[in-house]
Structure 1
Amino acid sequence: MSTVVTCGTGTASQRQPTEHVYYSSTKSLCKTCKQAVDAKIQFSGGAVYFDKFCRDHGHQRVLVASSVEWYLDALSFIAPHTPPRGEIHAVRSGCPFDCGPCASHQQKVYMPVVPITSACNLDCPICYTVNKNEGAHQLSEREFAAILGHLRAQNDELDIINFTGGEPTMHPELPKLLRMASEAGIRRLTVSTNGLKLRSEAYVRELAAVDARIVLSLDTFDPEVDQRMLGANTVRAKLEALELLEKHDVTTTLLPAIAAGLNDKDLGKLFDLMMRKPNIVSLELHTLTFTGQGGAGFDRTARITTPDLHRLLEEHTGGAIAARDFVPSPLAHPHCYSICYLLALDGGGVVPFARFMGREKLFELLGDSLYIQPREPVEEALRTAMDELWADPDRLPESEALLRTLKRLLREMFPPGKPLPMAQRQKIAERATKAIYIHSHMDEESFDVARVMKCSIGVPEVDGSNIPTCSYNVLYRENDARFADPDMLERMGRTEPHPLLAPAPAPPANRRSLPILKVPS
């Protein structure tokens, strides 16, 4: 307890000790006006909070992690950054108001996310972006060709691109855009979709023909929860889509947005579904974010953080997967991704990579791509793991099965004297492993410029600019007339553009309007 003298009165008062520990500070945003504000990073009750003050909208506090231990552990993983190439914007207003990237940005883009349409056939209460069906924007082939040209110039190698929207399957030329990306040398073509159009076998066959990878937004198996989160009952439609994707052997990722008290109970079932289906290679868990046309007004009690998902997975698997089996991505801020790779053992069962090769080696293998690539460093790491298991077989109870599986996998991926093409090696690797990616998106309440500055997921434009995805979703998209429906903005209380962001040009006239569709239950 300390003595404080109040200015102007000379009166002494006793200042009570705080219930929190001050750790550090960062720059964040006011949840109401989205102006930059200082954020104190505080530890309290074993959790991490941002404590902020806006002179116009007062004091604000938000949970950013339910575990101080995880928060600090993630920061112990340090990796060098690779600065972006190409035109760099000058810093005028300060992060995050000069994105494109600006001179403060630390990391190049490793996965471009291209919104090819503003149209969407759902109006989800949890939607973290802004969509527009009336006069919908559709990216043209010429515009996409320009984006690809800039991406090639800015990257020596680009192994992945993500197509999004709106709902990307509502773009009439999606298969053609996928072929253009493939012809540009990009191997992994991912489509983030709600899956409603994938009930058409002809359409699934068309996507399979261009080797598209589907990232399916499957949030729950409970129709009532589905209605509350998505505003429709989509469960049956998505399960039908999954059957067709399996039939045509389309590589698939399940992507649920997890909300506390709603679909967190589905996490175990989603994990089991991934483990059962050979074409489902990964589970990408997004913590719910409270921004955009739906999310900004969603119940804040649904906020969940990365350590909560670690705990749920550990409980469901009986400890077969634990928090220490996850590492951050070396290509992003340590609090953005939490990643676990699992090796499927011959004869059944899985073992996390971190247990047989160590967390540091797993972190190292993620250093050249967001997803592990079966290149020579992987071969070396697996052979080293085998040597260590031979030397100390009692280190893991699964050692014998691990050795058999690793020996077979190395023989198939790296046959002596017969190097396989990368795509073939990738296919073998993905059928022998499963991956769990926890991606903690930010909203205006949890926004942290330290994380944005090292973001490696960007939204590219035809002029060569590239905006980090969280900055894009929180700030830039709603100021872009191509994507922002005025009615949606009014619903969000965003009737005026942000004073520090110049609005993007309005779209050409006579764009075709696309309605929101009703999903049959």
Structure 2
Amino acid sequence: MEEFRVTQAPAPRRKVDRDEVFVEFTKSICPMCKTPVDAQVNIRDNKVYLRKRCRDHGEFEALVYGDAEEYLASARFNKPGTIPLTFQTEVNDGCPSDCGLCPEHKQHACLGIIEVNTGCNLDCPICFADSGHQPDGYSITHEQCERMLDAFVASEGEAEVVMFSGGEPTIHKHILDFIDLAQARPISNVNLNTNGIRLATDKNFVAELGKRNRVPGRSVNIYLQFDGFDERTHREIRGRDLRTFKQRALDNCAEAGLTVTLVAAVERGLNEHELGAIIEYGIDHPAVRSVAFQPVTHSGRHVEFDPLNRLTNPDVIRLINEQRPGWFQKGDFFPVPCCFPTCRSITYLLVDGEPGSRTVVPIPRLLNVEDYLDYVTNRVMPDAGIREALEKLWSASAFMGTTTTEEKLRATAEALDCADACGIDLPQAVKGLSDKAFMIVVQDFQDPYTLNVKQLMKCCVEEITPDGRLIPFCAYNSVGYREQVRAQMSGVPVAPVAPNALPLAGRLTTTPYGSKTTRTES
């Protein structure tokens, strides 16, 4: 008798939801070969990630914004761009291959950067410019500097700010001449980006900078590397203990009447605990009028990092709020509308009292900044004068110590409203505004892992090259333009610096039925 077997039918497969929300399609580059590739932005666990795939090197993912809710809300602060007076390149291959500026770029240059050399008196483990290398180093000449300044003026007409950088610009033997060349042109303000060693050891040089800061209608401001107070911070970011040099540099600047911005490169697990102390130190020092926090840009030379566990702007702002809760709270910082609004956030403070008993009030608590800088959902045009003032203050061209910033702060102060609870003598604070106002900037520059062409096309911080191009800062450091210029200037072929991500970080494979991702060995 034939035996029959009953077999149970397999359970039907069930569809599953992805563990992320797709936000948009964009373009990026492969972090290994720098080839332009398709990319997508996704939200997972209230964080924003950029994912892309290179045919030769596989799939990569990086954290780009630590707060998805704020990322989506920031779109309201996207100001219409301004067309520059001239473009330097044509559109051939599309962004990011035609820099710049090409006619498809969406913004003019709020800030122009001239790198006067590649040499440096430090050998920092973290250096997006990969400075100090020979024989592919170079220094620009007077003629090249003039050509670069003229290209900036041709694009901008009356330019707000030019920054001299490097390398270390203070070791260039003609740096004072370059500042004179800038001040002889319709450029209102010069920023000098420096590690501070020469400022600490050459008081005559600082005095010469101070003289140039007193030229009518012009200013010279110091953009000083200042990463924290722990010896470990200095050694791991700059390669040596520079704490004494920083203090001397600041004291010399105060004596010469120079305004200083403290610029902290912030790295996950290294100096993120020092942000509040840096702000408090800056407020208490007579030379310092602002602090800029920059999550480390993982271009050029840098320590190992995990692209999925990096610091982003909202992370830095949250740390500031946690470390000085008596001074800061959620909502004190606003995105900068002239660039893409997720790139930079700013707040201004009114400061009163003596060290140890300071009263600090962020201006956004005294004036509804959102009413003026919301370009999408605000249907009622607010006061045009206040809006214009705030647009200048919430801008990449805003630096404390400049005439424009002080004028716009004073115009804004006239609209401030302070309840008794604010704890500050508002009329007296406004009267002494030049001494009582303080600025904090949080700026996350893109690197080969996080580069998003959508943001790049709105960039308003431009590298001015010796051949007269204006190249968006993040493209210059990530796409290969820096190596191109270095090779042209030195005559020595320059290979791109390979990314230094952790071996398992950012490289992904995708499971067949769902979107969960697994890191694989690169």
TM-score by shorter chain over 0.5: yes
In the TM superposition, what are the counterparts of 1:194-209 in structure 2 within 5 Å? Answer: 194-199=195-200, 200-209=202-211
TM-aligned CA deviation for residue 303 of structure 1: 2.0
Decide which moves more: 206-215 or 127-136.
127-136
Q: 1:466 and 2:497 equivalent?
A: no
Offset from partner CA, 1:252-294 (integer Å, 9 cap, x none):
0000110011011111211111110132011011111111133
Q: 2:315 aligns with which of 305, 308, 312?
A: 308
Q: 1:273 aligns with which of 281, 284, 288?
A: 281
The answer to whether the Cα contact below 8 Å between 1:113 and 1:161 also exists between their aligned partners in 2 is yes
Aligned match of 2:171: 170
Structure 2 letter corresponding to 1:144: C
Aligned match of 2:236: 228
Q: Take 2:124 and 2:424, find their aligned partners in 1: how far apart are those partners?
A: 48
The answer to whether the Cα contact below 8 Å between 1:120 and 1:133 also exists between their aligned partners in 2 is no
Decide which moves more: 265-274 or 70-79.
70-79
Q: Take 1:203 and 1:398, find their aligned partners in 2: how far apart are those partners?
A: 42
TM-aligned CA deviation for residue 99 of structure 1: 0.4
What is the aligned length? 456
In the TM superposition, what are the counterparts of 1:208-247 in structure 2 within 5 Å? Answer: 208-211=210-213, 212-247=220-255
Q: Take 1:482 and 1:248, find their aligned partners in 2: how far apart are those partners?
A: 38
Aligned match of 2:183: 182
TM-aligned CA deviation for residue 309 of structure 1: 0.9
Aligned match of 1:102: 102
Q: Take 1:17 and 1:180, find their aligned partners in 2: how far apart are those partners?
A: 61
Aligned match of 1:325: 332
Q: Take 2:490 and 2:324, find their aligned partners in 1: how far apart are those partners?
A: 42
Aligned match of 2:269: 261
SS at match of 1:91: coil
Structure 1 letter corresponding to 2:422: E
The answer to whether the Cα contact below 8 Å between 1:293 and 1:488 also exists between their aligned partners in 2 is no
Q: 1:383 aligns with which of 414, 439, 444?
A: 414
Aligned match of 2:482: 477
The answer to whether the Cα contact below 8 Å between 2:88 and 2:470 also exists between their aligned partners in 1 is no
Q: 1:127–1:377: structure 2 CA closer, same or farther, 3 Å change rule?
A: closer
Structure 2 letter corresponding to 1:306: N
Where structure 2 has 5 or more consecutive residues not aligned to the other structure, the ranges are 1-10, 214-219, 374-386, 501-522
Aligned match of 1:282: 290
Q: 1:479–1:47: structure 2 CA closer, same or farther, 3 Å change rule?
A: same
TM-aligned CA deviation for residue 88 of structure 1: 4.4
Q: 1:246–1:57: structure 2 CA closer, same or farther, 3 Å change rule?
A: same
Structure 1 letter corresponding to 2:443: H
SS at match of 1:385: coil
Q: Take 1:147 and 1:487, find their aligned partners in 2: how far apart are those partners?
A: 23
More helix by percentage: 1
The answer to whether the Cα contact below 8 Å between 1:87 and 1:464 also exists between their aligned partners in 2 is no
Decide which moves more: 326-335 or 478-487.
478-487
SS at match of 1:150: helix
Q: Take 2:328 and 2:291, find their aligned partners in 1: how far apart are those partners?
A: 14
**Please, what TM-score do these two structures have when normalized by structure 1?**
0.81
SS at match of 2:339: coil
Q: Take 2:491 and 2:14, find their aligned partners in 1: how far apart are those partners?
A: 53
TM-aligned CA deviation for residue 375 of structure 1: 7.3
Where structure 1 has 5 or more consecutive residues not aligned to the other structure, the ranges are 1-10, 410-428, 495-521
Q: 1:299–1:247: structure 2 CA closer, same or farther, 3 Å change rule?
A: farther
Q: 1:367 and 2:352 equivalent?
A: no
**Please, what TM-score do these two structures have when normalized by structure 2?**
0.81
What CA RMSD, in Å, does the superposition of the two structures yield over aligned residues? Answer: 2.6
TM-aligned CA deviation for residue 156 of structure 1: 3.0
Q: Take 2:306 and 2:240, find their aligned partners in 1: how far apart are those partners?
A: 18
Q: 1:454 aligns with which of 458, 461, 470?
A: 458
Q: Take 1:184 and 1:33, find their aligned partners in 2: how far apart are those partners?
A: 40
Q: Take 2:295 and 2:127, find their aligned partners in 1: how far apart are those partners?
A: 12
Aligned match of 1:424: none
